[in-house]
Amino acid sequence: AQSVTQPDIHITVSEGASLELRCNYSYGATPYLFWYVQSPGQGLQLLLKYFSGDTLVQGIKGFEAEFKRSQSSFNLRKPSVHWSDAAEYFCAVGAGGYNKLIFGAGTRLAVHP
Amino acid sequence: ETGVTQTPRHLVMGMTNKKSLKCEQHLGHNAMYWYKQSAKKPLELMFVYNFKEQTENNSVPSRFSPECPNSSHLFLHLHTLQPEDSALYLCASSQEQQGPYEQYFGPGTRLTVT
């Protein structure tokens, strides 16, 4: 069965530090992969997506993610974190029919000044 | 209005009440979704509608009743809810031709059942 694992429940970084959020997926075919961000009390906003082609994808707000098939991973990165990046981040894989998305449990990011 | 809107944003209801959540998408999409987001649990897909037809019901209790009168509007009718139904209910929409599996979310309705 398809699944998404985000190993880190909480991460704390200092403002200006680099960030990497981990995501591992389980899916037999070539996956459609997504990262979403959710600020408190808000819905999910699409940060970036991978369908095919270049394995390093750029997203909004300075985020990027790299698809590594050999590791079944799609880690999210940002070179310099801003205080406004504090939020919860969800990795998702498109799986099965009717446009179903399978979400990970999320990683909550805290940013220290 | 742009994107996906949801009303109300907050709702408090007793276990014997009947209420409805409304979702509207202004993106020209043809698929709409209801998700439940509870504290410390992954996002749970509840219902999927494609071209107004329900294509997914993830064993959701009958006290939740969805309605999709057209491709732009989605409702979730609630009755006889339980306290454990308190959660953030998110609506999303997508259009396969614009990007497979790419869903756009509304801000959610925070539901509290007392």
Structure confidence by residue, pLDDT tens digits, A9-42: 999 999 999 999 999 999 877 789 999 999 988 8
A27 touching chain B per CB within 8 A? no
Nearest to A63 by CA among A20, A9, A7, A5: A20
Please check the confidence at residue B98 and state whether its pLDDT lies above 90.
no
Burial of B63 (0-12, 13-18, 19+ CB in 10 A): middle
Q: Do B107 and A100 touch (CB under 8 A)?
A: no
- The partner residue sitting opposite B105, judged by closest CB among A32, A41, A44, is A44
Q: Which residue of chain A is at minimal alpha-carbon distance from B56?
A: A98
Q: Which residue of chain B is at minimal alpha-carbon distance from A9?
A: B40
- The partner residue sitting opposite B101, judged by closest CB among A44, A90, A94, is A94
Q: Which pLDDT band holds residue A51 (cuts at 50, 70, 90)?
A: confident
Please check the confidence at residue A69 and state whether its pLDDT lies above 70.
yes
Distance separating alpha carbons of residues B64 and A11, to the nearest angstrom: 35
- Residues 6+ away with beta carbon under 8 Å from A15: A81, A82, A83, A111, A112, A113
B56 touching chain A per CB within 8 A? yes
pLDDT for residue B51: 81
DSSP A38-103: E-TT--EEEEEEE-SS-SEEE-GGG-EEEEEGGGTEEEEEESS--GGG-EEEEEEEE-SSTT-EEE
Residues from chain B that touch A99, judged by Cβ atoms under 8 A, are 31, 48, 50, 94, 96, 100-101, 103
Please check the confidence at residue A2 and state whether its pLDDT lies above 60.
yes
Q: Do A94 and B96 touch (CB under 8 A)?
A: no
Average pLDDT over residues B41-53: 87
Residues from chain B that touch A90, judged by Cβ atoms under 8 A, are 43
B interface test, pick of A32, A44, A99 with most B CB neighbours within 10 Å: A99
Q: Do A94 and B48 touch (CB under 8 A)?
A: no
Q: Which residue of chain A is at minimal alpha-carbon distance from B36?
A: A43
Q: Do B42 and A98 touch (CB under 8 A)?
A: no
Average pLDDT over residues B43-47: 92
Q: Which pLDDT band holds residue A96 (cuts at 50, 70, 90)?
A: low
Q: Which pLDDT band holds residue A107 (cuts at 50, 70, 90)?
A: very high
Q: Are strands A24-26 and A3-5 parallel, antiparallel or unpaired?
A: antiparallel
Q: Which pLDDT band holds residue B40 (cuts at 50, 70, 90)?
A: confident
Q: Do B102 and A98 touch (CB under 8 A)?
A: no
Please check the confidence at residue A47 and state whether its pLDDT lies above 90.
yes
Please check the confidence at residue A89 and state whether its pLDDT lies above 80.
yes
